[in-house]
Chain A
Amino acid sequence: MSALITATGLTKHFPAGGFLGRGRAVQAVTDVSLTVARGETLGLVGESGSGKSTVGRLLLGLLPPSAGHVTFDGADLATARAGDLRTLRRRMQLVFQDPYGSLDPRRSVGAQIGDALSIHALLPRADRAPRVAALLEQVGLAPDHAARYPHQFSGGQRQRIGIARALASGPDFLVADEPVSALDVSVQAQVLALLADLRARLGLAMLFISHDLPVVRHLADRVAVMYLGRIMEEGPVAAVFARPRHPYTQALLSAAPSLHPERRRTRILLQGEPPSPANPPSGCVFRTRCPLASSDCAHAAPPLQGAGHRVACFKAE
């Protein structure tokens, strides 16, 4: 499979707030390398503040990295010329988490979906309305919904509108940042099915960010697990879920509540809470909560290594 998007050594530190920037920089993302192949879905899981959204925004070039680089279809986002960057932008899109905050309440749905078409001058004006209608149908809404305003739709319908807007420019890569976590479970499943269907029909590559492990299990081909800005483990979903090798992944999978508690993995209860990303532990960032940690783990950060199924832990079998 050919890589569509590749991140190498991506690092993002947000300068500290406060007077004259005193305090420590937030190390939101550190040394993240990953690839997404054409038509492939990479799930990105991790707890709140682990840097998932920041990775998504770095891949889209919405944030400049502090170090490392992103190449999209062979072009380096950092060095691409303005004109090329516009073309690249068209080919990468974002689906937001909040179906309410992410649509402009004062403009019709059709106008917002049409934005991408006019910004990138993709179609003559006369052809835009039919294209918007086709997009709405593609996400399971009626063409005449174009004239309505966001408040006239339910949360699930708005999320469909957000997806239609992202698809308008004909992207090959979609970052979906928690696209269903604000939705009720019966609606979640519909939107997930829509995403899976679109991916198959349009050959979309996708970075699917979520904290819901079973959802990732169903939608993604591969999964990367983040903790405190670093990738701890990465591999094909089936392998990672069946045989998690990193102690954090094992704890995370075992902590997720299960519909069938009797079939759940034995629970590994992590002690304490994640440290602040402004002041991560030395060496392996997970060591303050790791049941296997030893003094070695404080000295150096374990590299993410392995073939196909990669783990960043000195003790991983």
Chain B
Amino acid sequence: MRRLPWTPIAAFALIVVIALLAPWLGLANPVSMDVPHRLAGPSAAHWLGQDEFGRDVFARLIWGARVSLSVAVAAAALACVVGTTLGVVGGFLRGIAEILALRSIDVLLCFPPLLLALLVVTLLGPGATTLIPVLALVYLPGFTRVAYAGVLTARSQDYVEAMRVLGAGKSRIMLRTILPNIGGPLLVQFSLAMAAAVVLESGLSFLGLGVVPPAPSWGLMIGAARATMTQAPLLLLWPCLALTATILVMNALCDGLRDAVDPHPAYRPTARRLLDALAPGLLPTPRAVLDLRGLTVEIDTPHGPIHPVRDVSLQVFPGETLAIVGESGSGKSVTSLAITGLLPGAARVISGAACLDGTDLLRLSEDRLRNLRGAAMAMVFQDPGSSLNPVHRIGDQIAEAIIAHRPMPRAQATSAALALLQRVGIPDPARRLRAFPHELSGGMRQRVMIAIAIANGPRLLIADEPTTALDVTIQAQVLDLLADLKRERGLALLFITHSLPVVAEIADRVAVMYAGEIVETGPTAEVFLNPRHPYTAALLRSAPVEDGPAPEGIAGVVPPPTALPPGCIFAPRCDRAAPVCTTTHPALEAAGEGRAVRCIRWNQP
């Protein structure tokens, strides 16, 4: 948060304190009349004079502030609680809750606020106790809409996704992650509603529909003074001045708060790149940590169902790195989302099995999956900035991740967090525990994400483009860290990337994906040295090598998932295609020690 607006805060606090202390300020009784001195001017006993019944104007002004402010605060608070609940529930649960919450608000919004207030007051009769619910009703839609919009934005952030990956439940996400992120806008909305409620209260009281005489209220005072305006014009001045000053202070407060809570640069939402790819395999595997077989995913689109991932099988062994490499849209990320159970709503797994140490992830209930995510299976995303919650300290977020799966005292979790920060190579870890994400560089945030991922000793770590957003010198540091952790903890590392050089650096084995299928898989060094699939070979030729020949592109484009060619999906771009390739869809067949390839002609000259 930037600097708080101290001047308006102090001024507002002063007004509140004076109003609160009214009974103890030794003021004249605001309702005791002194008719003989009606409309008397200012005097030593009555600083601001006396009104049309001879009551002390100064006392009525201060007691009036009490009434106006308490009505306004109570109304704004009521509107805030009810409105925010409706908005958060509607935005987070969607479905029927969303329809109910938002439609009822839409109905309210059809009425101009003043008309709505007049209507309810006329029905229920005037008085301060009616005013509070009336004003609350008027300002409720504002809160609902702010909360709802905030939740929708927050939902799409990677850091909310990251909470799900950590295994947090819905109510925890709502309370701990989403609410703090919409807190700023709600605070501003609250101060706006309060200021507006003061005005509306005065207006309604002026019309005789608010506070009932003889109780003091600024609106009533203005109304009464109007009748005697020609005889005692000052009487009109005092309540108007009080009202104006209060509103100005509140507006300054609103503006100051809005600036102070304005989103940080780190708030940027990042679109998740959905369609990415997956891995190969088909190796005989006694003890694979992850054993994925025949995964096929279907997504409903306006053009009918598409299958962005088809029949993908792969294994990752302990202490091994398997890289899935492919161009954008090849299905890499969809594969990893399917394994972790985080596919978006329109997508579903239609066949296959994904066994994590023998448990089929694709058939687990959401509850059991949640227990596994962040524990036995952890993920690191591309953009560390948006995977961390901007309003919580680094140390708290790591401790949170630990406690979510291993209940322990806070202090113990914090010292575990410290050890983790040390392990991932963050300089000055004790101080960094207290840092907010936007205070760290991209490379450092990615280290924090890795610390969270390894916090509960995962067996499988899925890293989706973890270094793509980093500079080369930082990328080199992070790749080294991942390789060390894998070795030291016997992790199975599933590494998703589009960069062939990164694969060459980090992966023991590689699976090359093209348009939703694995086209080739095998030990990285052998596949790169001697690619058997024409796509792998072409991809390698298009990667620029410093001391190699100029890179060559691959003619044509990846076929869209709505229009896959009938035979080999690479045939339209393949320089070895034969007539048979356009009619027969090749299967992934074994091609030597630990290797497999999906090409009819791989062993033909």
Chain B residues, Cβ within 8 Å of A189: 542, 544, 551-554
* Complexed CA–CA distance, A47 and B474 (Å): 10
Residues of B close to A212: CB separation below 8 A: 544
CB-CB under 8 A from A259, the residues of chain B are 500-501, 504, 528, 540, 543, 545
| Interface status of B228 (Cβ within 8 A of chain A) | no
B488 within 8 Å of A (CB atoms) = no
Of the candidates A185, A261, A270, A274, the one whose C-beta lies within 8 Å of that of B498 is: A185
Closest chain-A Cβ to B448's Cβ sits at a distance in Å of: 14
**CA–CA, A215 to B545, complex, Å?**
8
Pick from A188, A218, A269, A273: contact of B443, CB below 8 A.
A273
B553 touches A47 (CB 8 A): no
In the bound complex, what is the Cα–Cα distance between A60 and B544 (angstroms)?
28
Bitwise interface map of B from 472 to 485 toward A, beta carbon under 8 Å scored 1, else 0: 11111101100000
Within the assembled complex, what's the spacing in Å between the Cα atoms of A19 and B262?
Answer: 14
- Chain B, residues 433-471, CB within 8 Å of chain A (1/0): the string is 000000001011000000000000000000000000001
Q: B502 at the A/B interface (Cβ < 8 Å)?
A: yes
Asked if A292 is at the interface of the complex by the 8 Å CB criterion, the answer is no
Check A260 against B504 for contact (C-beta < 8 Å).
yes
Chain B residues closer than 8 Å to A251, beta-carbon distance: 473
Query: A273 with B444: in contact, given A47-B473, A252-B473, A257-B476 (CB under 8 Å)?
Result: yes
- The answer to whether B551 touches A270, judged by C-beta atoms less than 8 angstroms apart, is no
The answer to whether B551 and A218 touch across the interface, beta carbons within 8 angstroms, is: yes
Beta-carbon contact of B476 and A188 below 8 Å? no
The answer to whether the Cβ of A213 comes within 8 Å of any Cβ in the partner chain is: yes
Determine the interface band of chain B, counting residues with CB < 8 A from chain A.
Answer: 35 or more
Q: Is B15 an interface residue (CB 8 A)?
A: no
**Interface pair A47/B546, CB less than 8 Å apart:** no
Q: Mark A174-189, 1 if CB is under 8 A from B, else 0.
A: 0000000000111111
CA distance A212 to B539 in the complex (A): 17
* A218 x B544 contact (CB < 8 A): yes
Interchain CA distance A193-B551 in the complex, whole Å:
8
Asked if B498 and A184 sit within 8 Å, CB to CB, the answer is yes
Counting chain A CB atoms within 10 Å of each CB, the highest count among B474, B546, B552 belongs to: B546
Q: Is the CB of A270 within 8 A of B553?
A: no
Residues of B within 8 A of A256 (CB): 472, 501
Among candidates B474, B477, B505, B539, residue contacting A185 with C-beta atoms closer than 8 Å: B539
Highest count of chain B CB atoms <10 Å: which of A187, A189, A269: A189
Chain A residue at minimum C-beta to C-beta distance from B499: A257
Residues of A within 8 A of B (CB): 19, 47-48, 154, 156, 184-193, 196, 211-215, 217-218, 241, 251-252, 255-261, 263, 267, 269-270, 272-274
10 A-B pairs within 8 Å (CB atoms) are namely A47-B471, A47-B472, A156-B557, A184-B328, A185-B551, A187-B553, A188-B551, A211-B471, A211-B472, A260-B545
B residues adjacent to A (C-beta < 8 A) = 3, 327-328, 427, 441, 443-444, 471-477, 479-480, 498-502, 504-505, 528, 538-540, 542-547, 550-555, 557
Q: A258-B546, A259-B504, A259-B545 are in contact. List 18 more A-B contacts (CB 8 A).
A: A154-B557, A185-B327, A186-B539, A188-B553, A189-B544, A189-B554, A193-B550, A196-B550, A211-B472, A213-B472, A215-B544, A218-B544, A255-B473, A255-B475, A257-B476, A257-B501, A269-B480, A273-B474
